Structure formats: C-alpha cells, structure tokens
Amino acid sequence: MSKLDENLRALDGYLEARKSRGITNLIAGRFEPAADGAVFETRSPVDDSLIATVAKGRARDIDAAAKAAKAAFPAWAATSGAARKKILHKIADLITQRAEEIALCECWDTGQAFRYMSKAALRGADNFRYFADLAPGAADGQSLPTASHLNVTGRVPIGPVGVITPWNTPFMLATWKIAPALAAGCTVVHKPAELSPLTAHILAEICTEAGLPDGVFNLVNGLGEEAGRALTEHPDIKAIAFVGESATGSAIMRQGAATLKRVHFELGGKNPVIVFEDADLDRALDAAVLMIYSLNGERCTSSSRLLVQQSIAPTFQAKLIQRTKAVRVGHPLDPQTEVGPLISQGHMNKVTSYFDTARAEGATIAAGGARSGDKGWYVEPTLFTDARPEMAIAQEEIFGPVLTALPFKDEAEALQIANDVAYGLAGYVWTNDISRALRVSGALEAGMIWVNSENVRHLPTPFGGVKASGIGRDGGQWSFDFYMEQKNIAIALGAHDIQKLGHLPEGN
C-alpha cells in the first residue's frame, strides 16, 4: 500500500466520528451545537466533498462563551504558574500523541501538503511546551525603590481574551496565540476560520482532556461577520488577538473601539527576497523556491517578490523557471506533494485572476499561469517575469504559489523597490557582504529579516510586522506584554511629608 493510501485510510478512521457527530462548539466545558441549531458545511479542497457539518455560532453563542470565560477567569488567574505549566505540558503531550490525526485532518480541510503539516502539528506542541515553561515567571516584576517608597511592579493577566485565526496553517497559528494566553492566566474564546474548523475542534478536545477547568478555553465556530464580529464587540472580552487579512484587521479595530479593545494583529505580507550578485546563488535559489511554493504560498511570510540583481537575473531566472516547473503538485496527503489545492474555489479564482492581471499589465508568465486539473482547487506554481514594481502583481498579496520577479540595478534601487509596498512583515536578504547585509536589513521596512536564510523561527524572538502587516509582536515575553497588564504597587516606607519630598503628587 502506498503512503498516500495509508494516509487516506488513517484519515477515514479519524473522520468517522466527525462525520456522524459534526463539529460543535465548546462552551463552559460542554461540547454543544449552536444555540439555534444552525450549521454550515466544511468541504475538502481536494474534491469539494463534504467533511462535516459545523455548529454555526452567532452572537448568542459568543455571549455564552464570553460569560463562561469571564466566570472562569478569577480562579484561572489565581492558579499558580506551576499548576498552569503542568496542564499546558499535558496539552503539548496530547498534541504530540495526536499529531498524525491533526496533520491529516489539516491537510484534508485546508489542502496543505502533509510534508509540512506533519511538522506544523508538532510545532503546535512546541508552542505549548515553550509557554508552559514560561508560565511560572509570567507575572514576575521588579522593585523600584525610592527613599520614601518601595515600588513593586508586576504583571497580571488582562482577563478573558478573544482569539480569531485564519485558515492557513490554522492549528499551528492558533497555538501561537492560545498557549501564551493560557500561560499568562487569561481565559480564551477561540473563533477559528470557517473554512478550516477541523483541527480547532481537536485542540478543544485536547484542552478538555488535559484538565483545563471548564470555561478557561472556549471554542465558537461561525462566520467572521457574525461570530467573529460579536467576539470583537463583546464587553467582557478585554483583548483580541487576530491573524488574518489587513482589511479584516481594520474592521476589527472599528468593531472593538466602543469597548476599548486591546488588539494584536498579524496581517498580510508582500515580502521581498533580495538576491545580490555576490550571494551563494544555489542556496538563495533553494530558499526562494521554498519560501514561495511551500504551504501552497498561502503563508504570511512567503517571499512573494523576488528582487534579483540585474547582472545575475537572466541566469538566476532561467534556473528558477526550471525549478518552478518541477514543483510537485498533488494530493495533499501524499508525502511527495509540495503544493496541494488552495483552500477554496473562491480563493483559487482570486489567485488565478492575477494571471489575467499579469498579462494585462504586460508581465511574462514564465512558468505556470493556469488552474491545475479540473477537480479540486489546484493552481500551477507560477512565476511572473518582466514585471515592474508598480504592477498589481508586485504590490498586492496574492496568497498562492505565485512569485513575481523584479530585477534591480544596485542596493539603493533594491531598497526602494522592497519598501514601496503597503506591507512590512518579513524580508530575506542574500549577500556575502556583511556590511551590506546589515545596511539593507536596517533599512528594510519589515518586522523580521532573515539574512542568507529562509524563515527559521526561534520561539523567544519577536514575530510580527510593520505598516499594513500588523500591530504588536508574538513570541517570548512579547506575547505576555499583550496578554498581561503591568501593575505598580507603591508602599510607603514610613510616615513622610509630601511637601518635603520636593515634588507634587503626580498623575492626579
């Protein structure tokens, strides 16, 4: 039996229960349908077959979940960091145990290739382990004494938080948000993307099995405009951690304004990979191919613009065309597959519409440029050449396996092109000149730069973007900055005369 057949058989087993029972919400420790019984369908992008029906939560369900999170908050916030650590480690262990199920379900629900999703599932466990270990020290502060007062500063969890996630690598992205929130002592209402609800439900099962008290973690499925909006508007929810499109981020900011929500946004990108003539060109080529065609190009940090120095552009592009044509498109459960189907027919139509845009703008489609097959939402890995920086294909986030190549003359022009977009999430610089690497990295308008490397993430480092790519940072203590409030306690060291202290009371 081939590995694909083995995976398909295993998937059938995992999906049996989901098919009969459907995907529910989790509110106050109970797995239950939407209050009004409404459902929507989740279908596989491989063949458009029905996977399961999903509870269609609306404002009423969000209200129940937010109230459950509010009720559970005082006890969870008061739970020792050591006890929280233990439960989060248990969640990580259970993720590891169910990693194959998570990976296969993710592939079937999203079209992402198994070779990447098997690693993403385990990365979800890493996220829980990492923040579990930080939980005991999350509230740690410092003392700032003066002659008259001892100031003690520390952190307290902000309260119940909403987590809204997208459909690309949905399990892993959800764990980035949920693990630090729980480690900080916050309670959570998670609203996953309606196009990929399968693994969010598995995470809810795992959280329950690991012994998270009722109401600490709640899951409400539903549409962005209904459940998502209600979560951002709910007065009991103190903060919203959101990953998704920049336009949705703006909407959430508006929606949350009335209740003064704290927001953390990880949004879109149009990230440059800049290849200078002195770089290790073979390694740069490998990285450029990986960073656009892995994860179907449905990746916020994908290097969707290749900026290549004119002197090497013809040779580099010729090799790139060969490599792009050789990318293996196929069934996402086949371990050989590099690119699977895109998430939905709507998204496939959006991505393929850029092929017409490229033609109309006068670019050359050097590889790909069409839908692949007629079943499922497959798109050929595509390369545009002869593009100019102002073209839509060089400015807009396409979010598919589509790369736009742009030649540049020198360092100044590379930077000008790289920064002349609305986004600023990541940048990749390839050069063997360390001075240039530092100069270019410093001048790039992006939250994260990799030099002579593809995206390799170290969990304690800050992750996030500038400009239209986001607000705030994830990772290490930066995550706690978002999920926690700083609090200062000033203790008088004895009787004192406020006039003699030489200053007026401040902050009144």
Q: With CA atoms as reference, report the closest residue to 418 among 309, 284, 277.
A: 309
Q: Which is nearer to ligand NAD, 173 or 212 (CB)?
A: 173
State yes or no: residue 106 binds ligand NAD (CB under 6 A): no
- The per-residue b/e assignment along 286-303, b for 16 or more CB within 10 angstroms, e otherwise, is ebbbebbbbbbbbbbbbb
Instruction: Confirm if 219 and 25 have CB atoms less than 8 A apart.
Output: yes
Show contacts with ligand NAD in window 451-490 (CB under 6 A). Answer: 465, 469-470
CB of 192 within 8 A of CB of 219? Answer: yes
The least distance separating ligand NAD from the CB of residue 172, rounded to whole angstroms, comes to 10
CB of 130 to ligand NAD, least distance (A): 17
Q: Tell me the CA end-to-end span of the chain in Å, nearest whole number.
A: 75
What is the SS3 assignment for 285? Answer: helix
CA dist., res. 120 & res. 114, Å (int): 9
Cβ pair 116, 170 in contact under 8 A: no
- Supply angle C-alpha 330, 333, 338, rounded to 5: 45
Tokens coding 491: 């203790």
Rank residues 188 and 193 by Cβ distance to ligand NAD and give the closer one: 193
397 catalytic? Reply is: no
Return the range that interacts with ligand NAD (CB under 6 A); candidates 53-61, 117-125, 262-270, 356-364.
Answer: 262-270
Contact with ligand NAD (CB under 6 A): which of 266, 338, 380, 454? 266
Count the alpha carbons within 13 Å of 333 in the hemisphere toward its beta carbon.
23
For the chain, the C-alpha Rg in angstroms (whole number) is 24
Which residues are bridge partners to 496 per DSSP?
A: none
Site for ligand NAD (CB under 6 A): which residue of 57, 111, 180, 269? 269
Token pair belonging to 291 = 């960073």
Tokens 């003690």 locate to 152
Interface pattern 181-210 for ligand NAD (x via CB under 6 A)? ----------xxxx----------------
Judged by CB under 6 A, the stretch of 20-28, 121-129, 263-271, 499-507 that binds ligand NAD is: 263-271
Selected catalytic residue, list 194, 266, 298, 338: 266
Minimum distance of ligand NAD from residue 491's CB (angstroms): 41
**Positions 140 through 169 that interact with ligand NAD (CB under 6 A):** 164-168
How many angstroms separate the CA atoms of 351 and 158, rounded?
Answer: 39
Return the number of the residue (180 or 330) whose C-beta is nearest ligand NAD: 180
Judged by beta carbon, residue 149 or residue 467, the one nearer ligand NAD is 467
Asked if 105 interacts with ligand NAD (CB under 6 A), we say no
Look-up: residue for tokens 């006039």?
Answer: 499
| 194 in catalytic set | no
* Residue 237 found at the interface with ligand NAD (CB under 6 A): no
Site map 407..426 versus ligand NAD, x via CB under 6 A? ------------------x-
Residues that bind ligand NAD (CB under 6 A): 164-168, 173, 191-194, 224-225, 228-229, 232, 243-245, 248, 251-252, 255, 266-269, 300, 397, 399, 425, 465, 469-470
So which residues are the catalytic ones? 266, 300
